[in-house]
Amino acid sequence: MANTIKQYEVVEGNLKAVKDTSDFGGPNKWHLHVKETGGFWSNSIQWMNVYTIQKLFTKSLPVYREKTAQSKYELV
């Protein structure tokens, strides 16, 4: 099923939040990445709810509200 969730990432220091654009788990899931000592980004180290990952970032992450029972999302 197609949804309207757009690609989005936020980088602050050694942390990066990448928006999960799949329908699995609902519209407010994010992947947390950490910059390794060699300067490369790790694979996702944690799959998190927006309210949990937001505690690690100063920039506000977008929050989606489910509009229908058929997983259509609207940016809040």
| Mean pLDDT across 27-52 | 96
pTM: 0.81
| Mean pLDDT across 25-47 | 95
Q: Is the CB of residue 13 less than 8 Å from the CB of residue 39?
A: no
49 pLDDT tier (thresholds 50, 70, 90)? very high
Q: Is the CB of residue 31 less than 8 Å from the CB of residue 47?
A: yes
What are the domain boundaries of the chain?
9-75
Q: Is the CB of residue 45 less than 8 Å from the CB of residue 36?
A: no
**Is a pLDDT exceeding 80 seen at residue 43?**
yes
Burial 39-56 (b: 16+ CB within 10 A, else e): eeeeeeeeebebeebbeb
**Closest residue by Cα to residue 21 from 73, 76, 59, 68:** 73
